[in-house]
Chains A and B, each alone.
Chain A
Amino acid sequence: EVQLVESGEDLVQPGGSLRLSCAASGFTFSNYAMSWVRQAPGKGLEWVSAISGSGGSTSYADSLRGRLTISRDNSKNTLYLQMNTLRAEDTAVYYCAKAWSNWGSSGFDSWGQGTLVTVSS
Chain B
Amino acid sequence: EIVLTQSPGTLSLSPGERATLSCRASQSVSSSYLAWYQQKPGQAPRLLIYGASSRVTGIPDRFSGSGSGTDFTLTISRLEPEDFAVYYCQQYGSSPYTFGQGTKLEIK
Proximity bits, B33-73, A CB within 8 Å = 1, else 0: 10101010000111100100000100000000000000000
Residues of B contacting A44 in the complex (Cβ-Cβ under 8 angstroms): 88, 99-102
Residue from the list B37, B44, B96, B101 in contact with A112, Cβ < 8 A: B44
Q: Which of these binds chain B: A8-16, A19-27, A45-53, A75-83? A: A45-53
Proximity bits, A41-64, B CB within 8 Å = 1, else 0: 000111100100000000101100
Tell me how far the C-beta of B87 lies from the nearest C-beta in chain A, rounded to whole angstroms: 11
Residues of B contacting A108 in the complex (Cβ-Cβ under 8 angstroms): 35, 37, 45, 47
Interface residues of B in 84-106 (CB under 8 A from A): 88, 90, 92-102
Residue from the list A50, A109, A111, A114 in contact with B97, Cβ < 8 A: A50
Proximity bits, B18-40, A CB within 8 Å = 1, else 0: 00000000000011010101010
Kindly report which residue of chain B lies nearest to residue A64, judged by CB atoms: B96
How many residue-residue contacts, CB under 8 A, span A and B?
Answer: 58
Residues of B contacting A46 in the complex (Cβ-Cβ under 8 angstroms): 99
Q: Is the interface of B mostly helix, strand, loop or mixed?
A: loop
Assuming the contacts A44-B88, A105-B31, asked whether A62 and B44 have C-beta atoms less than 8 A apart, the reply is: no
Q: Find out whether the CB atom of A107 lies under 8 angstroms from the CB atom of B92.
A: yes
Given contacts A107-B90, A109-B50, 10 further A-B contacts (CB under 8 A): A44-B99, A45-B39, A47-B98, A50-B97, A59-B95, A95-B44, A105-B94, A107-B47, A108-B45, A109-B47
